[in-house]
Structures are given as C-alpha cells and as structure tokens.
Structure 1
C-alpha cells in the first residue's frame, strides 16, 4: 500500500525550501538544509540565515539535518594549521544544526582511487589515515555527542563500499554513522569499476542513516532527477528495504525548482511517496 512506502525528503537551499515548503510540511518530509556549508559565509551572514531558517521551519516537525562543510579540505588532513580551520568550520555548522533543532550533519569521506590503491600497497597507510581522521574529528564528535547530532559520512570518490563504513565504526561513537550518495556510487561504478549502488547499500547495513538520491549517466556528478540517468532504482530500493531501519531518503538534485519531478518518478515506480 502507498502508505507503507518510504516518504521522500529533500536537500534544499533556504530559497528552495521556501519554494517547496508546503510540499515538505504537508507530510513532514525529512529535510536537509544546504545553505550553511559554504566557506564564504560570514558569521553575520550566518546569523541572518539562521533567523530566516527558524521562520521557515515554523510548523515543521520532521527530521532535520544540515550538510556540513567540505570545500577545499579532507577529513584525513595532516597539516595542523589546516586542521584547526576544518574543526572550526565543522563546529560552526554543528552548532547551527543543533540550534535549528536538527540531529544530523553530512560530512564527506576521505577516500579516493589514489588513496585506496595506496592502502593495498602499504597496509600501514590505512592505520595512519584512520588515526588522522580520528585526530581531526575528535572535538567535532565529542560536541556532536553533547548536542545529540549524528555525523553521517558520505561517499564521494569511494571505490570500496566498506571503507568509510569501517572508518565510521572505528570512531567508536554512536554519533558517527554513514551516508550514501547514489550518484557518487554510480559514477565510481561506471567510470572506475566500483560495485553498483545496491552493493553500497548492503555494505553500509544498519550504519546507513542517510541517502542522497540523485541520478547520473556515468560521465559526471550530474545530480539529475531519478529516472534521468542509469541507476537501477528497483535494485537500490530492494536493498534499502532489507535494512533494519529505512534511512532518510533525501532528493539532492541540481534542478531544485523541479525537485518533484524525481519524486514523482520514484512514486510512479511504486518505490516511494
């Protein structure tokens, strides 16, 4: 029955949340705000954005998350000076997440084709990388635990689906789990020989608490509407239904104005509503 189908949420800027607000609030859909992650936002600008977000969120009772900062850095950074900047950026968005009533923040995986190849030729590299991530994130994780916010690590250039899942587990915190971006997984599948998207779901298992739904043709990170690319959506949703709990399903598309096109497509397949 339709009422048993998972309810789609959306990743939106504040402007696009205002545009789709009635649709979001009608079913209290999961929401991910993406206006707070950019490095060029001053503290003054952020305060104005927080005030606007609070107004827009009036009456919203769904599950809220924010996309954390990711531009120009990696969470396995080894430079002490840059690490301080990374922590500052992450803590800033983490505090805003909690202030707005959110309980999830998306961060990016450190893995790439180059780094994964290095892991295979030098096993010590893996240990060093995990410890670098632990050092960078420890203050962020501790604050996330205090605020009741979960950090979810999103695959970007990940070739091996299990690596960031293991990384999250090695942080040894209930505040660190996993995100999946379907388009990123499909890109690595088509261009670099990674497993298909449904295997990324299986590999994450119960740690998977957040999914970015976007489609691609295998050429680039298109962020097209579901149905416009090459992802086998039936296999993805079959894998999702095998999880102990359905993660947040967040449409993340470049055409935010036309967001509901992908939602309608998935609904037409009987996969979500």
Structure 2
C-alpha cells in the first residue's frame, strides 16, 4: 500500500510547508489535503500557489483531497449549513456542488489523483430521491473533475445512503466505471464490520481511510488504539485488486506536536 497521511491530523492549524515537511519525515509518500477553510483554505489562490510551489520542490505527493464538509471557517459551529449534495432543497444541493468545485480547482496548482466525497449526512435516508440526487451530483462533479485529472471516490459513512449495497447501486445505476470507493476502516467498524464492508466493495476500492475506534463512536484513533482487528484490515487491503493507498486519517489532539505526530505515523506505516 502507498503510505499516505491526511492533514486532518493538523486540523486546528493553518496548513503550511513546515507541517508538510514533518509529515514527509514520517516516511509518508503522499498526503491527503483536508479541505477545511480554517486549515487549508482552498479558496485562497495565494495560499494554494505557495503550497503548490512546495510540492513541486519535494518528493511528497499530493495524493488526494477530502472534499469540504462545511463552507465556512468554523466547521459549521457558527451555524453555517453542511456541504450536502443530497439536501432536499435544490438550492442547497447546488451550493454544495459549487463549494466542492472550488476545492477541485486546487488541482490546477496542486495536482492530485482523487477527491474523496461524502454523499449525504448521517440522518439522510436511502430512497429513490437520494439515489436520484446522488446520480446527479456524481455526474456533475465528475464532468468538472475529469479535465483536471481528478477521479472521484465515494466514502462509506455511518449514514444509510452509503451502506455498501447502496454505494454499489449508485455506481452501477449511473454506469460510473471511473468512480471508485474510499474504504473508511473506522466507519466500517461502526457499521457492518470491516470484513463485510471490504468484501462488498472490494472491486471498487481505490483508497482507504485508516483509523481506529472502540466500536461506539467515530474517534479517528491511531491504529491499535481501538478494537479493530488490524491483521484483517491490512491483509484485506493488500489483497484488493486495485492496490489501494492507506491514508491515515487521525483526529487532531492538543498534546501532539508535529514531531510526535511524525513518530506515531512512522510507527503506523511500519504495519503497511
């Protein structure tokens, strides 16, 4: 597996080259940029250009980007609505797709392979309507992403819409052969279980989010700090036909410094 780490681990900090250098020291081969304006402001062309210059001068790859979850600088805490391409209100769906397209434009300065996309929120239910909205969103965003050299990956979440069988129905109904799946290990552990989720989605997996929990809430812990069976996870992912990347997506912690994060990431990468 390609060794990748998400900048989510630095979510409380503004992303800058020094933080990228610390991740590079961990042995990471790539990073996933977490598109949150207070952390990585994808709408700030000067900031994007500065990071693009750093990537062009260093071996660390900008492997993927996580699509924005909120359009503001406070992750919705001040009342901004979530970026939800399945919202019942058409205007909200259009706003969500426009926000994601702003993030996709980063690929002009920082080329990356994949955009990781959430379909809906936890309370959204599976229905003919959410299937229709999913097809429309993926078709629209795919048309925008492909000329930029970016492929879309749908992430399995805790909500009903992205249960494995529903993800497959969306992709098969839309004949989206070029859209894959980012298998989230922590979300799988909270749902059908890793093995069942992996087996269902195996042919479509192109990347993975690696994190742990205790089976009760989405904690985004380092591998081994929860109750996931990591032998099963690594054996499964290595057997996936598309050789997915392993992307450490870890919750930020106040006590962690860039140096300790690099050390923990290096230890986790040893298992890859």
Q: 1:174 to 1:18 in 2, by over 3 A?
A: farther
* Pairing 1:74–2:77 present: no
The residue correspondences of 1:39-118 to structure 2 (distance < 5 A) are: 46-57=44-55, 58-60=57-59, 62=61, 64-71=63-70, 72-110=82-120, 112=122, 115-116=125-126
Residue among 233, 236, 242 paired with 1:239: 236
Question: What secondary structure does 1:15 align onto?
Answer: coil
Deviations 1:181-200 (A, max 9, x none): 111222x2xxxxx3211222
* Structure 2 partner of 1:9: 4
TM-score normalised by the chain length of structure 1: 0.78
Give the conservation status (yes or no) of the 8 Å contact 1:211–1:247: yes
* Structure 2 partner of 1:173: 176
Residue among 195, 198, 204 paired with 1:207: 204
Q: Which sections of structure 1, spanning at least 5 residues, go unmatched? A: 1-5, 117-124, 189-193
Of Structure 1 and Structure 2, which has the larger fraction of its residues in helix?
1
Q: 1:28 to 1:230 in 2, by over 3 A?
A: closer
Q: 1:235 to 1:42 in 2, by over 3 A?
A: closer
Shift of 1:173: 3.0
Deviations 1:105-145 (A, max 9, x none): 111133747625xxxxxxxx2x3321112223432111112
Question: What secondary structure does 2:61 align onto?
Answer: coil
Shift of 1:171: 3.0
* Pairing 1:264–2:262 present: no
Shift of 1:30: 2.4
* Structure 2 partner of 1:156: 157
* Structure 2 partner of 1:226: 223
* Structure 2 partner of 1:248: 245
Cα distance in 2 for partners of 1:90, 1:67 equals 10
* Structure 2 partner of 1:3: none
Q: Which sections of structure 2, spanning at least 5 residues, go unmatched? A: 71-81
Deviations 1:189-216 (A, max 9, x none): xxxxx32112222211121111111111
* Structure 2 partner of 1:122: none
What is the alpha-carbon root mean square deviation over aligned residues? Answer: 2.8
Give the conservation status (yes or no) of the 8 Å contact 1:158–1:185: no
Cα distance in 2 for partners of 1:215, 1:112 equals 19
Q: 1:185 to 1:165 in 2, by over 3 A?
A: same
TM-score normalised by the chain length of structure 2: 0.79
Give the conservation status (yes or no) of the 8 Å contact 2:164–2:200: yes
Question: What secondary structure does 2:125 align onto?
Answer: helix
